[in-house]
């Protein structure tokens, strides 16, 4: 569908229904609004609706259905595969819907679907509260939550979906409903990990947890030390107290002034910490590693959780080229470690990186079948990230990420986090949901039999 295929009076009538703005290819700001975080994505939608309220979403959904236009839903626009936007589609853009209501009486926060993580962290910071989300404040809460969500607080409090109490959602038939453990419980099960397959979420209610001052930041060693640090880290984090969190990373030190010049552009391995609770326990954890091998960079300090959440934003601004792949890892045996280090030494560009996010601790309090997120038995969610500002390096970063992933695939549980996927296709989506896929498919048949919501890691009805 192109907007030129629609009569001007049809578009005018649609536009006049909206409180928000209708952007078409004829609009001056079309190129600005069709952009997403990953600059490798270059899609040309038929129109973008910058919704201001639920009514705008309902009118847009109806318009898309009436004119048979593919429907894409964009909240934070951070999805690396670009699934918040579609060629020839109508983009229902929720970015302006970013209201937040903190309720200290019930220890909850209601969050509109267009919020970025930074909006939420900012609103909660004065109260020293949070719930687990991701590690970059520029990510959207919607795509992250619907895919499962994890970050610095996940060993303490679980996945993002484990703090989700209810969601308001517009179904394919146009109904606006509230789903929770008691109302539409099958749908509530499905949206906790099943992505944007089941409707358009307009707001979420989350439970809050204590997260004021934390002990956090990076600790780095030369990549040559990874053969010692990685197994030491593995053994430690599998048994660590829940309030201790650190993810393992391979990275290149950015050539910026906050890092010592002699380390600039050196390949490293490291831990990024976020310890809650007792300072004594946190110090014990840090000393455990410092005594094992002295880090060449040690920036771990007391800070507000809010501060840690945006610490790395500036290193990865919007507009870089991204290609990434994910894997769920249960065991990191000697062979797996050797393979990882071999590929990490080949990090193709300074922005490219590899992270192992621990998803044990409180994430293991639930079982694989309790929510749609079917990988509770994994200990890490690994992401292999090829990034560079220069599009001429796209083949280089893509080839490295793919061959790294192939090499470690035998050591994984088969699938990967759907929010760390590109366009791997149906087999990999099924492998990622494992035993939960059949149930997800039945729920999809019930709520979206015509697959109206298909611009996502799609569960085919
Ligand atoms: C730099 C970076 C860091 C990241 N760090 C983490 C991390 O620490 N932890 C983690 O878990 N993930 C992380 N992610 C992955 C992130 O969870 C996904 O990219 C996620 O899709 C982003 O959500 P969004 O709303 O910004 O995406 P969008 O591009 O807006 O949307 C992505 C998908 O979600 C669906 N969707 C969006 N909004 C709605 C809605 N309101 N209703 C229904 N469906 C909707 C869309 O259909 C689309 O398929 C990171 C991503 C990046 C780029």
Supply the DSSP string of 204-254, one letter for each residue.
EEEE-EE-SEEEEEEEEEEGGGHHHHHHHHHHHHTTS-TT--EEEEEEE--
Q: Contact at 8 Å (CB) between 447 and 457?
A: no
Query: Which residue from 215, 217, 214 is spatially nearest to 298, judged by alpha carbons?
Result: 217
Nearest-atom index, ligand 1, CA of 417: 11
Instruction: Give the residue whose CA is nearest to atom 13 of ligand 1.
Output: 134
Average pLDDT, the chain: 97
pLDDT at residue 4 above 80? no
pLDDT at residue 186 above 70? yes
User: What residue has token string 């609770």?
Assistant: 277
Distance CA 433, CA 100 (A): 31
Instruction: Give the residue whose CA is nearest to atom 49 of ligand 1.
Output: 456
Distance CA 431, CA 108 (A): 34
What residues contact 115, with CB distance under 8 A and at least 6 apart? 75, 98, 99, 100, 140, 141, 142
pLDDT score at 315: 95
pLDDT at residue 240 above 90? yes
Distance CA 96, CA 113 (A): 9
Nearest-atom index, ligand 1, CA of 82: 29
Nearest-atom index, ligand 1, CA of 114: 41
Q: Contact at 8 Å (CB) between 195 and 147?
A: yes
Q: What are phi and psi of 232, to 5 degrees?
A: -65, -45
Indicate the pLDDT class of residue 1, thresholds 50, 70 and 90: low
What residues contact 252, with CB distance under 8 A and at least 6 apart? 265, 266, 267, 268, 347, 349, 350, 351, 352, 353
pLDDT score at 3: 67
In testing the pocket of ligand 1, which one of 33, 77, 80, 84 has its CB within 8 Å of the most ligand atoms?
84
- Residues touching ligand 1 (Cβ under 6 Å) are 37, 73-80, 83-84, 94, 113, 134-136, 139-140, 142-144, 146-147, 149-151, 195-196, 200-201, 316, 419, 455-456
Q: What's the pLDDT tens digit per position in 247-259?
A: 999 999 999 999 9
Element (H, E) at 47: strand 47-50
**Which residue blocks in 319-381 are alpha helix, DSSP H?**
334-344
pLDDT at residue 6 above 90? no
How many Å is the Cα radius of gyration of the chain? 22
Q: How far is the CA of 356 from the centre of ligand 1 (A)?
A: 18
pLDDT at residue 301 above 90? yes
Q: What's the pLDDT tens digit per position in 360-386?
A: 999 999 999 999 999 999 999 999 999
Q: Contact at 8 Å (CB) between 379 and 329?
A: yes
Q: Contact at 8 Å (CB) between 48 and 32?
A: no
pLDDT score at 296: 98
Average pLDDT over residues 350-360: 98
Q: How many Cα atoms occupy the beta-carbon half-sphere of 205 within 13 Å?
A: 15
Query: Which residue from 363, 369, 383 is spatially nearest to 316, judged by alpha carbons?
Result: 383
pLDDT at residue 7 above 90? no
Q: How far is the CA of 386 from the centre of ligand 1 (A)?
A: 18
Q: What's the pLDDT tens digit per position in 396-454?
A: 999 999 999 999 999 999 999 999 999 999 999 999 999 999 999 999 999 999 999 99
Distance CA 89, CA 73 (A): 10
pLDDT at residue 54 above 80? yes
pLDDT at residue 300 above 70? yes
Q: Contact at 8 Å (CB) between 386 and 401?
A: yes
Q: What's the pLDDT tens digit per position in 100-123?
A: 999 999 999 999 999 999 999 999
**Which residue blocks in 18-88 are alpha helix, DSSP H?**
30-34, 54-66
pLDDT score at 277: 87
- pTM of the predicted structure, to 2 decimals: 0.97
Instruction: Give the residue whose CA is nearest to atom 1 of ligand 1.
Output: 136
In testing the pocket of ligand 1, which one of 140, 157, 457 has its CB within 8 Å of the most ligand atoms?
140
Q: How far is the CA of 267 from the centre of ligand 1 (A)?
A: 28
Q: How far is the CA of 92 from the centre of ligand 1 (A)?
A: 15
Query: Which residue from 197, 193, 191 is spatially nearest to 147, judged by alpha carbons?
Result: 193
pLDDT score at 2: 67
Query: Which residue from 394, 351, 419, 373 is spatially nearest to 139, judged by alpha carbons?
Result: 419
Instruction: Give the residue whose CA is nearest to atom 37 of ligand 1.
Output: 143
Q: Contact at 8 Å (CB) between 206 and 328?
A: no
pLDDT at residue 182 above 70? yes
Query: Which residue from 109, 41, 45, 33 is spatially nearest to 79, judged by alpha carbons?
Result: 41
Q: How far is the CA of 357 from the centre of ligand 1 (A)?
A: 17
Q: How far is the CA of 420 from the centre of ligand 1 (A)?
A: 9
Strand pairing of 297-298 and 213-222? antiparallel
Q: How far is the CA of 76 from the centre of ligand 1 (A)?
A: 7
Q: How far is the CA of 8 from the centre of ligand 1 (A)?
A: 34
Distance CA 332, CA 288 (A): 20
Q: Contact at 8 Å (CB) between 455 and 70?
A: yes
Average pLDDT over residues 198-203: 98
Token pair recorded at residue 367: 């079982």
Distance CA 223, CA 144 (A): 30
């Amino acid at each position: 569908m192109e907007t030129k295929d629609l009569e001007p009076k049809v578009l005018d009538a649609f536009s006049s229904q909206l409180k928000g703005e209708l952007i078409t290819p004829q609009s001056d700001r079309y190129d600005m609004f069709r952009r997403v975080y990953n600059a490798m994505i270059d899609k040309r939608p038929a129109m973008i609706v910058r919704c201001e309220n639920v009514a705008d979403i309902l009118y847009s959904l109806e318009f898309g259905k009436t004119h048979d236009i593919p429907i894409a839903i964009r909240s934070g626009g951070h999805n690396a595969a670009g699934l918040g936007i579609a060629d020839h589609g109508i983009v229902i853009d929720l970015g302006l819907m970013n209201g937040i209501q903190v309720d200290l009486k019930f220890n909850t926060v209601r969050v509109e679907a267009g919020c970025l993580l930074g909006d939420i962290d900012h609103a909660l910071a004065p109260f020293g509260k949070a719930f687990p989300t991701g590690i970059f404040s520029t990510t959207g809460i919607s795509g992250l939550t619907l895919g499962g969500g994890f970050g610095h607080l996940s060993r303490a409090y679980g996945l993002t979906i484990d703090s989700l109490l209810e969601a308001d959602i517009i179904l394919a038939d146009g109904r606006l409903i509230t789903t929770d453990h008691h109302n539409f419980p099958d749908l509530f099960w499905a949206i906790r990990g099943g992505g944007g397959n089941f409707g358009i979420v307009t707001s979420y209610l989350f439970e809050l947890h204590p997260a004021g001052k934390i002990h956090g930041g990076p600790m780095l060693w030369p990549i040559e030390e990874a053969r010692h640090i990685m197994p030491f880290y593995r053994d430690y984090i599998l048994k660590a107290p829940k309030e201790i969190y650190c993810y393992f990373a391979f990275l290149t030190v950015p050539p910026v002034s906050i890092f010592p010049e002699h380390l600039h552009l050196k390949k490293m391995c490291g831990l990024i910490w976020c310890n809650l609770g007792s300072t004594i326990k946190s110090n014990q954890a840090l000393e455990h590693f410092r005594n094992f091998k002295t880090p060449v960079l040690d920036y771990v300090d007391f800070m507000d959780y809010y501060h840690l959440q945006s610490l790395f934003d500036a290193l990865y601004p919007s507009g870089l080229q991204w290609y990434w792949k994910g894997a769920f890892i249960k065991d990191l045996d000697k062979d797996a470690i050797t393979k990882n280090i071999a590929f990490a030494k080949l990090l193709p560009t300074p922005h490219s990186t590899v992270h192992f996010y621990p998803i044990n601790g409180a994430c293991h309090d639930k079982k694989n079948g309790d929510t749609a997120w079917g990988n509770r038995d994994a200990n890490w969610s690994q992401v292999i990230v090829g990034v560079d500002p220069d599009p001429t390096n796209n083949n280089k970063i893509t080839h490295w990420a793919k061959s790294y992933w192939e090499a470690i695939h035998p050591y994984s549980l088969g699938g990967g986090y759907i929010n760390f996927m590109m366009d791997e296709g149906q087999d990999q989506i099924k492998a990622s949901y494992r035993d939960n896929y059949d149930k997800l498919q039945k729920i999809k048949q019930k709520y979206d039999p015509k697959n109206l919501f298909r611009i996502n890691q799609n569960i085919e009805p």
